[in-house]
Structure 1
């Protein structure tokens, strides 16, 4: 069953990408999944979104490290190939890129994940922090060609100003 985000967000998908039910594409922990229109060698590049309340003081880099450890338990190999803090004090973020080898659909795959962590604070109560994770997963050969789409997508993500409170 797909999860829901603790706060509503809005975003725009890059041209050609289409939403898919998380359960139908094997991503039950995701709140949202988008699929690229052109698979590469039988693997479809995808963007997933999930998030959770994080009232603790964990830095985004620590949350990202924990994500790597969870992925290591499910994969043959995970290597962090880059990471950096982004954003501002008012809108902090963290990005990391991972090289992942594992079995997907019965086939050994070399994939690349670009992960973006965004921290959102409740303006009425800053102790209520939400961390949203945006993830692009693609084959190593297709990643360079879909990375611009992902970056374009990330730039459109924002709190949903039209959501009822």
Structure 2
């Protein structure tokens, strides 16, 4: 999958790009996994995005993510949700807790999601929404959350310099 607008970002040293055969890459433009799995589950970061010609708010898009997760997981709970940014560059963060079967084991997982609204550099009337997602076990989430927050702070529209998707 290709993102609707190119972005640049930087991963910390504890993360490396995931090989597509190592995860379900449907709808994912880029993924990375943590170097130290928790009991066989590697925390991962996934980046996806799409043009949104409609007027859906970031909260409505976050609700759509919750509904999609309900289709594959049990006990999905929105533990926290916060809107941030400005009118020109809104963002939203939410944290979800849920239980899902991964491989052959049921796991308690936490997903931190960030939604960034960006306008196409070449066509500013087009709105793209970039979704950044950290998925980790409940036991490992707090230890990798800081890395994810650091990663989010590096995400920028790609003007041709730096790593990106």
Instruction: Please report the TM-score for the alignment, with normalisation by the length of structure 2.
Output: 0.93
Larger RCO, structures 1/2 (Cα 8 Å, 6+ apart): 2
Quick one: distance in 1 between partners of 2:122 and 2:23? 37
| Pairwise CA RMSD | 1.3
Structure 1: runs of 5+ lacking an equivalent: none
Further displaced range: 105-114 or 85-94: 85-94
SS of the equivalent of 1:117 reads: strand
Could you report, residue by residue, the CA deviation over 1:62-120 in whole angstroms, capped at 9, with x for unpaired residues?
Answer: 00000100100111221000001011122110000000101011210000000000000
Q: Is the 8 A contact 1:55 1:127 kept in 2?
A: no
What residue in structure 2 maps to residue 68 of structure 1? 66
Quick one: distance in 1 between partners of 2:20 and 2:69? 18
SS of the equivalent of 1:127 reads: coil
Quick one: distance in 2 between partners of 1:124 and 1:32? 22
Quick one: distance in 2 between partners of 1:23 and 1:128? 32
Structure 2: runs of 5+ lacking an equivalent: none
SS of the equivalent of 2:143 reads: helix
Quick one: distance in 2 between partners of 1:57 and 1:40? 40
Quick one: distance in 2 between partners of 1:22 and 1:64? 25
Identify the match of residue 115 of structure 2 among 117, 121, 125. Answer: 117
Runs of 4+ with >4 A deviation: none
Instruction: Please report the TM-score for the alignment, with normalisation by the length of structure 1.
Output: 0.93
